[in-house]
Structure 1
Amino acid sequence: MNNKWNKVIYKIWSPIYDKFFNSGSFLNSRKIIFHEKPFNSEQKILFVGVGTGADLELINHYELDITAIDYSPEMLNKAKNKFINTSIQFLEMDAQQMNFMDDHFDIVVGSLILSVVPNANKCFDEMVRVLKKDGEIIIFDKFSPKGKKPSLFKKTIRPLIRVLGTDIGLNFEELLETQKIKLRIKENAPIMFNGMYRKIVLTK
């Protein structure tokens, strides 16, 4: 995967994305995550890889200070059109190289983003960098099982799946180990498809 290819992939996905990833099990999982998390008007909140705005549909966004970024203009336009009369700031931006100051946001949300960016380590580093001390990172994504090596079949098809725009072999524990800034895990729970997808909450 690379940025140029990702733009092509998500230009194709944008008209039908909500039918797959904002319905059924995905929608139910998002509801669980965001109904459990109260936001308040004093917090600066960043949605990284906001896509079509599926997460934003599940929160009371009118009184919140929200910035939402995505690298795909087509996906971002889908989100913008859903929230025309709101104060949400939508920005076309690379999640691997954000144009924000250090320690800028109280909460950083990353739904289905780490597994689709070309470099998950860079994206994760940036999410941590822009987070304030004692702030929270909320992650909803797919990861390989902790402590288990991928099967031969999974190893074989992983490169092909990456060409289609996602990584089925990303390991969160390895991702966390590479992080220079110490993070505390508040929650690391299976949420969908027998634990393939997890809800992870971290504090800085």
Structure 2
Amino acid sequence: MNNKWNKFIYKIWSPFYDLFFNRGLFLSARKKVFAEIDLPEGSRVLFVGTGTGADIEFFDDRTLEITAIDYSSDMLQKARDKFRDSNVEFLQMDAQDLDFPHGSFDFIVCSLVLSVVPNPLACLQETHRVLRNGGTIFVFDKFSSNQKPSSISKKILRQVIRILGTDIGLDHTDLLGNMKDELSVEKDEPVMLKGMYRKIVLMKLK
């Protein structure tokens, strides 16, 4: 996957994305993972890879300072259309190269983005950079569900699905291990599909 391909494939996905990923099992999962979040008034919240804005509806833009970014202008327009009368600021931006100063946000949502960007570590490093010390990164995403070596058929399937704009083989333990001195894993819980989709809560140490 690369940025050019992702921009193309999510242009195709944009009219249909919510039909697949914001209803049924996925909508139930979103409701479940965001149910516990209770942020202080005035918190600065960033949605990284917001897509069509499916997660924003679980947050109150009247009491929070919400910024949402996405690389795909087509997906971002869907989000803008949904929240036309809100206080949410929408910006087109690369999640691997965020155009914000250090420590700009108190709480960052990375929902179904680490498995999409070409370089998930760069995305996580940038997310860490723009988060204040003691702030939280909230991850909801799909990851490799076991530590066993992948079979040839699974390796082929992974490459086919990558063409559709996502990676089903990302190992979250390896990814987070690269940031173990900067981020503390506060929660790591399975959400659905036998733990393939997980909720991970990270706190910035430094």
Q: What TM-score, normalized by structure 1, do the two folds share?
A: 0.96
CA distance in 2, matches of 1:17, 1:157: 21
Q: Is the 8 A contact 1:143 1:168 kept in 2?
A: yes
Distance 2:33 2:157 in 1: 30
Match of 1:184 in 2: 184
* Whole-angstrom distance in 2 between the partners of 1:151 and 1:140: 26
Q: Does the CA-based 8 Å contact 1:109-1:137 persist in structure 2?
A: yes
The percentage of counterpart residues that share the same residue type is 53
Matches within 5 A, 1:118-133: 118-133=118-133
Uncovered stretches (5+) of structure 1, i.e. residues with no partner: none
Partner in structure 2 of residue 90 of structure 1? 90
Aligned to 1:138: 138
Comparing 179-188 with 108-117, greater Cα deviation is found at: 179-188
**Structure 1 vs Structure 2 CA RMSD:** 1.2
Distance 2:194 2:54 in 1: 22
Counterpart in the other structure of 1:105 = 105
In structure 1, C-alpha distance between the alignment counterparts of 2:121 and 2:131, rounded to whole Å: 16
Q: In the alignment, residue 54 of structure 1 is paired with which amino acid? A: A
**8 A Cα contact 2:140 2:198, kept in partner:** yes
Q: State the partner residue of 1:197.
A: 197
Distance in 1 (alpha carbons) for counterparts of 2:4 and 2:63: 35
After superposition, the C-alpha distances for 1:61-115 in whole angstroms (9 at most, x for unaligned) are 2221000000001100000011111111100000010001111111010000000
What is the 5 A alignment of 1:26-175?
26-175=26-175
Q: Secondary structure at the match of 1:40?
A: coil
Query: Quick check: 29-38 or 172-181, which moved more?
Result: 172-181
CA contact (8 A) 2:145 2:194 kept: no
Q: CA deviation at 1:180?
A: 6.7
Q: CA deviation at 1:150?
A: 2.3
SS in 2 for 1:62: coil
Structure 1 SS opposite 2:62: helix
TM-score normalised by L of structure 2: 0.95
Displacement of 1:59 in angstroms is: 2.2
1:107-155 CA-to-partner distances (Å, cap 9, x unmatched) read 0100000001111111111111111100000000001135333233211
- On the 8 A contact 1:144/1:150 being kept in 2, the answer is no
Higher alpha-carbon deviation: 181-190 or 129-138: 181-190
Distance 2:54 2:124 in 1: 21
Shift of 1:25: 1.0
Please give the alpha-carbon distance, in whole angstroms, between the structure 1 residues aligned to 2:196 and 2:180: 26
- Partner of 2:135, secondary structure, is strand
Query: How many correspondences in the alignment?
Result: 204
| 1:180/1:173 CA distance change after superposition, 3 Å | closer
Counterpart code for 1:22? N
CA distance in 2, matches of 1:145, 1:194: 7
Q: Which stretches of structure 1, 4 residues or more, deviate above 3 A after TM superposition?
A: none
Secondary structure (helix, strand or coil) at the match of 1:63 reads coil
**Aligned-partner residue type, residue 104 of structure 1:** S
